[in-house]
Structure 1
Amino acid sequence: MQVVIDISEFSYLPAQAEVLGVPLPRVERLSLELPDGRTLSALRFGTESPQVTLLHGAGLNAHTWDTTALALQRPLLAIDLAGHGDSSWRGDADYTARPLAADVALALDAWTTHPQVVVGQSLGGLTAAALAASRPDLVSEIIVVDITPGIDVTAGPAALRAFYEGPTDFATREELVDKAISLGFGGTRPETERGVFLNTRVRPDGRIEWKHHFAHLAAQALAAHDAGSAAVPSVLHETGWADLAEASAPITLVRATGGFVSEADADEFLRRVPAARAITVNATHNVQETAPAELAAVVSAVL
């Protein structure tokens, strides 16, 4: 295991901690070489053995959890899933839950000493279920944030399609910030600038590109996928429900009022997973960014 520290990516944390009125813990970047030569990257908050592991959604990265992690004030990991953040892209571009969970299991074997409360948002929630089903020894509790198996988030709303269609590299980060704001993403300009900075990199030729592989696959995938088709979600539908049924850890579904999971979806979740509980929070799909204190309270309640 190698610990890599990049001070620039942590430059936003002091101000975030000040707004929350909490102390700033030690935060460091971890890097794990996987058996196939890829690298899995993560952020570790605190100096003690992690109690919580956070898994982000598609197109995001570990930093999406920064405010929630600060609000929690617990030792934890926030992992960059394969193809996102500082983790390697997959050569087969298979970013479904079970392959992602296999990577996470190796990370928890390396970086933790006891079972984790695993909190997964969107794709991360399905990954958490796959992890709990395949490696129950690593998971003490699952919190699935604004996703249920079978929901088609691959095509997304028209604004999301417009955001990822087109070029995959840009002259400046400001160009991306302007595009995000024009389509209604990112909140305030400073918040959008932070998100773009943490989710992009500068290529050797000076051009800016997204870190996550999804952006580079999106134009082709979105053009080919009919939002009303069951072809893509059927894969997650089949494996997701099976993984949830196999999981022995307690399960909580967090539904965002402005997110992807409807009341009917939540009811179906509880019908299929009768031992689970459901909580509704006033937030958008990225609950960890729009209601971090509320989500932190949900997590703290099970620790």
Structure 2
Amino acid sequence: MDVAIDKSEFSYLPAQAEAMGAPVPSAERMLLTLPDGRQVSGLRFGDGAPRITLLHGAGLNAHTWDTTVLALRQPVLSIDLAGHGDSSWRSDAEYSPRTLAADVAAALDAWTTEPQLVVGQSLGGLTGAALAAARPDLVAELVVVDITPGIDTSAGPAALREFYAGPTDFATRDELVDRAIAFGFGGARADTERGVFLNTRRREDGRIEWKHHFAHLAAQTLAAHHPGDDAAPSALHTTGWDDLAQVAVPVTLVRATAGFVTAADAEEFARRLPEARVVAMQATHNVQETAPAELAALIGSRLASHGL
């Protein structure tokens, strides 16, 4: 296990913490080399062994949880899923939840000492379900944020489709920030600059590119995908309910009122998992960014239910 020494990615934390009235936790980037040579990367926040593991959604990275981490004030592990952040891309472009869960399990084996309260948003939520089904020894409880099996998020809003169908590399980060703002993404420019910085990298030729593999696959994927077409099934749809049915630990679904999970989707979730909790939050799909305090309060309450 190696720890990277580049701390520039954490330079945004003090201002975020000040805005939230929260202390700045210790933070470090973790790297684990897998048997096939790929690397899994993650962020460890706070002192002591983590009891909470956070899994992001498609196209995001471990830093999407930063404000939620600040609100939690707990030791936390936030993992970059394969093909995202500083984790390696897969040459086979296989990013189904069960495949992603295998890498997460390896990271938890290396970086944690006790079963985790696993919180996964969107793709991370179904990855968490696959993890809990395959490795119940690693998961004490599962919180699924704004996703249920069968929801096809691959098409996405029209503006998002057009955004990712465009260029995948840029001369400067400012160029990418301008493009994101032009499409109505990111909010204030300072917030957009932070998001772009944390989700891009500079290539050897000096060009800026997205860190996540999905952006580079998007043009061909979006062009070929037709929502509802059986030839392009959602990976979440084919395995998600089976995985959730095998989860033996407590499960909570967080439904964002302005997100992807509809009231009908939440009802179906409750029907299939009658013992699960369903909680609605006033937030968009990326609940960890738009309602971090509320989400942190929920996570904290679930941690407290375990006497921690």
Q: Give the structure-2-normalised TM-score.
A: 0.97
Tell me which residue corresponds to 1:114: 114
- Tell me the distance in 2 between the aligned counterparts of 1:22 and 1:198: 21
Q: How does 1:46-195 map to 2 (within 5 A)?
A: 46-195=46-195
Query: Would you say the 8 A contact 1:151–1:233 is kept in 2?
Result: no
Deviation of 1:157 after TM superposition, in Å, equals 0.8
Query: Would you say the 8 A contact 1:56–1:62 is kept in 2?
Result: yes
Tell me which residue corresponds to 2:306: none
- Tell me the distance in 1 between the aligned counterparts of 2:198 and 2:188: 16
SS of 2:14's equivalent? Answer: helix
- Tell me the distance in 1 between the aligned counterparts of 2:173 and 2:138: 39
- Cα-to-partner distance string for 1:63-84 (whole Å, 9 max, x where unaligned): 0000001100010100000000
Deviation of 1:219 after TM superposition, in Å, equals 0.4
- Tell me the distance in 1 between the aligned counterparts of 2:155 and 2:219: 10
Deviation of 1:232 after TM superposition, in Å, equals 3.5
Report the AA paired with residue 35 of structure 1: P
SS of 2:206's equivalent? Answer: coil
- Cα-to-partner distance string for 1:235-291 (whole Å, 9 max, x where unaligned): 321210000000001000000011000001100111111111100001100000000
- Tell me the distance in 2 between the aligned counterparts of 1:63 and 1:190: 15
Q: Unpaired segments of 5 or more residues in structure 1?
A: none
1:230 to 1:186, Cα distance in 2 relative to 1, 3 A: farther
Which is worse superposed, 75-84 or 234-243? 234-243
Tell me which residue corresponds to 1:12: 12
- Tell me the distance in 1 between the aligned counterparts of 2:169 and 2:78: 27
Deviation of 1:234 after TM superposition, in Å, equals 4.2
Query: Would you say the 8 A contact 2:125–2:144 is kept in 1?
Result: yes
- Tell me the distance in 2 between the aligned counterparts of 1:37 and 1:234: 28
SS of 2:302's equivalent? Answer: coil
Tell me which residue corresponds to 2:229: 229
- Tell me the distance in 2 between the aligned counterparts of 1:137 and 1:113: 11
Deviation of 1:6 after TM superposition, in Å, equals 1.5
List 4+ stretches of structure 1 deviating above 6 A.
Answer: none
Q: How does 1:20-31 map to 2 (within 5 A)?
A: 20-31=20-31
1:86 to 1:234, Cα distance in 2 relative to 1, 3 A: closer
Query: Would you say the 8 A contact 1:53–1:116 is kept in 2?
Result: yes
- Tell me the distance in 2 between the aligned counterparts of 1:296 and 1:232: 35
Query: Would you say the 8 A contact 1:81–1:87 is kept in 2?
Result: yes
- Cα-to-partner distance string for 1:101-130 (whole Å, 9 max, x where unaligned): 000001000000000000000000000000
SS of 1:278's equivalent? Answer: strand
- Tell me the distance in 2 between the aligned counterparts of 1:158 and 1:233: 19
Tell me which residue corresponds to 1:238: 238
Report the AA paired with residue 47 of structure 2: T
Query: Would you say the 8 A contact 1:156–1:227 is kept in 2?
Result: no
- Tell me the distance in 2 between the aligned counterparts of 1:275 and 1:51: 23
Q: Give the structure-1-normalised TM-score.
A: 0.98
- Cα-to-partner distance string for 1:169-220 (whole Å, 9 max, x where unaligned): 1111111111111112111111011000000001111111000000000000
- Tell me the distance in 2 between the aligned counterparts of 1:13 and 1:234: 35
Deviation of 1:166 after TM superposition, in Å, equals 2.0
1:277 to 1:233, Cα distance in 2 relative to 1, 3 A: farther
Query: Would you say the 8 A contact 1:148–1:269 is kept in 2?
Result: yes
- Tell me the distance in 1 between the aligned counterparts of 2:199 and 2:288: 16
Q: CA RMSD in A?
A: 0.9
The share of aligned pairs that are identical, in percent, is 73
Report the AA paired with residue 225 of structure 1: H
Matched positions, count: 303
Which is worse superposed, 293-302 or 167-176? 167-176
Tell me which residue corresponds to 1:196: 196
Query: Would you say the 8 A contact 2:97–2:235 is kept in 1?
Result: no
- Tell me the distance in 2 between the aligned counterparts of 1:67 and 1:116: 20
Query: Would you say the 8 A contact 2:226–2:232 is kept in 1?
Result: no
